[in-house]
Amino acid sequence: MVESNAGSPRGLLYPRPDARHFDHARLLPSEDLRPWVEHFWAVRWDLRDRPPYLQQNLSHPSIHWSFEHGTSRIHGVPHGRFSVLLEGLGGVFAIKFRPGGFFPFLGTPVAALAGRTVDAATLLGPEALALQEALLATDVTRDADRERAALAEAFLRSRLPAPDANVARVQALVTRILEDRAVTKVEDLVSPGGPHLRTLQRLFRRYVGVSPKWVIQRYRLHEAAERLREATPPDLATLALELGYFDQAHFIRDFRRVVGCPPAEYARRAPGPVPEARRT
């Protein structure tokens, strides 16, 4: 395992006002687990002398397994933005699965988890409870992150799933959506000799938990939020066109519905990029 040095944050709506009170770390999984796990992450905060802070994110098409406050929970893909109130002194450790990467461990369609948070032992059995107890017995410090990741990796290796070509297939499609700005609708993913449109939709519901249309829109809104935090935000009509929207009105409607405010208001409220040393 090595510490991740991933690039710009995606999905963080409002950068933290004072990064000195927050600590964030990411660890890449060992090579044998990378088909399923994107990374391990840990967040610690000390707000004992400060007011609570509402962290808001535009979620990714990924399942997370978090360990915090004596419990461990499986988080399905949220339909809208994900918000959590941070207060006092605390921390959380989590596994972020790659899109489609949690399905082989669960064995049933992950669409049933969309918008839900479920006790891990309910889904994965008593061994998940044993992992929870072992992991939460470690220190909540950056030095303990590797120990926690090693415990999580041992659990996952003990349940290593059989090869499934569909996992790589949906991950390749999600990567294409993320990297190819020309993909603005589901039909753009259909290629000669590849899965038909309805097959793609079934694969995404089963393996990712949300539709390919959802993933396309979410990644475009991630980009929109980043662009709107620039020192000189782009013209909304131009941005809407670049993101593949039919017109500015449709873009504003989608942005307001998911983010909670119109893009022009967001551009005024968002304080700018996350400091390099505390990217999430």
What phi, psi does 268 have (nearest 5°)? -75, -35
Chain center to CA of 3: 18
Q: How is the chain split into domains, by residue range? A: 2-158, 165-269
Mean pLDDT of the chain: 89
Provide the edge-to-edge strand list for the sheet that holds 71-75. Answer: 2-3, 22-28, 37-47, 88-97, 64-68, 71-75, 117-119
**Helices 126-136/145-158 angle, 10° precision:** 170
- DSSP string across 218-231: HHHHHHHHHHHTSS
Residue 276: CB atoms within 10 A of its CB come to 8
Paired tokens of 34: 């990378």
Amino acid at 101: G
Residue 2, beta-bridge partner list: 28
146: CB partners within 8 A, 6+ apart: 1, 27
Q: Which homologous superfamily is 165-269 in?
A: Homeodomain-like (1.10.10.60)
Paired tokens of 266: 């967001």
State the average pLDDT over residues 18-23.
78
Amino acid at 73: R
Q: Which of 138 and 174 is assigned the larger pLDDT? A: 174
Compute the radius of gyration of the chain from its Cα atoms: 19
What's the pLDDT at 24? 86
State the average pLDDT over residues 235-262.
94
Q: What confidence tier does 271 reach under pLDDT thresholds 50, 70, 90?
A: low
What's the pLDDT at 3? 63
What's the pLDDT at 241? 92
Q: How far apart are CA 127 and CA 132, in angstroms?
A: 9
Amino acid at 19: A
Q: Is the pLDDT of residue 56 over 60?
A: yes
60-106 residue pLDDT tens: 999 999 999 889 999 999 988 889 899 999 999 999 999 999 999 99
Residues of the chain by 3-state class (helix, strand, coil), percent to 5 = 45, 20, 35
Is-contact 73 119, C-beta < 8 A?
yes
Q: How far apart are CA 72 and CA 166, in angstroms?
A: 28
Least confident of 147-151, 165-169, 195-199: 195-199
pLDDT exceeding 90 applies to what percent of the chain?
Answer: 73
Residue 81, beta-bridge partner list: 58
